Amino acid sequence: VILSNFNHKELLFKFLIIGDYGVGKTAIVRRYTEGKFSSNYKITIGADFAIKTLDWDPHTKINLQLWDIAGHERFGYMTRVYYKYAVAAALVFDISRVATFQSVKKWLSDLREKVTLQDGSNIPIVLLANKCDIHHAAIPTEQIIKFCKENKIGKWFVTSAKENMNIGRESGVNFDRLEHNP
């Protein structure tokens, strides 16, 4: 709680967006926070930040602090610093590039090794199969479902930052109502 009075509460949550380079993390954040998309690829160096404010209920405002981590960071030593105090994460891969799905496992273990909630439990993770507008899904749905089951990922969605599919509350996904891992 960062601010509270008789009938109003304001909460701040740190939310990570991770996954290989070029999968669309920055595009997803931009679509979610600004409603825009660009097809130019501008690589993220280190981490970018954005805030999404949600009116949760008439008495509660939620500020989601989105940490958009550079895909190349997996090879760096900074992720531990970036992950600190995060309470949830979106792990993104590109549905048209198998290698980015294979990397999901590495991102997942990096994350689970380096960040937990205060009570020691894993942070909730949503898996996003992005670029579903490219009609060439290289990874079968069953494989994604199996992976989620085996790795205790509670939720996954196919998304498109380009076509605005499953990005915001408007388009279906509740980034703001993440379920905890089973």
Residues that bind Mg ion (CB under 5 A): 25-26, 44
Nearest to 59 by CA among 10, 114, 92: 10
> Does residue 43 bind ligand GTP (CB under 6 A)?
yes
Nearest to 27 by CA among 171, 165, 176: 165
Q: For ligand GTP, which residue of 79, 103, 160, 166 counts as binding (CB under 6 A)?
A: 160
Question: Among the candidate windows 38-46, 59-67, 143-151, 174-182, which touches ligand GTP by CB under 6 A?
Answer: 38-46
Q: Looking at beta carbons only, is 22 or 154 nearer to ligand GTP?
A: 22
Q: Looking at beta carbons only, is 18 or 148 nearer to Mg ion?
A: 18
- Write the DSSP string, 62-91: EEEEEEEE-GGGGGSS-HHHHHTT--EEEE
Instruction: Report, in Å, the least distance between residue 44 CB and Mg ion.
Output: 3
What stretches of the chain adopt beta strand conformation (E)?
A: 3-4, 9-18, 47-57, 60-69, 88-94, 125-130, 155-158
Q: Looking at beta carbons only, is 62 or 165 nearer to ligand GTP?
A: 165
Which residues lie near ligand GTP (CB under 6 A)? 21-27, 38-41, 43-44, 70-71, 130-131, 133-134, 160-162
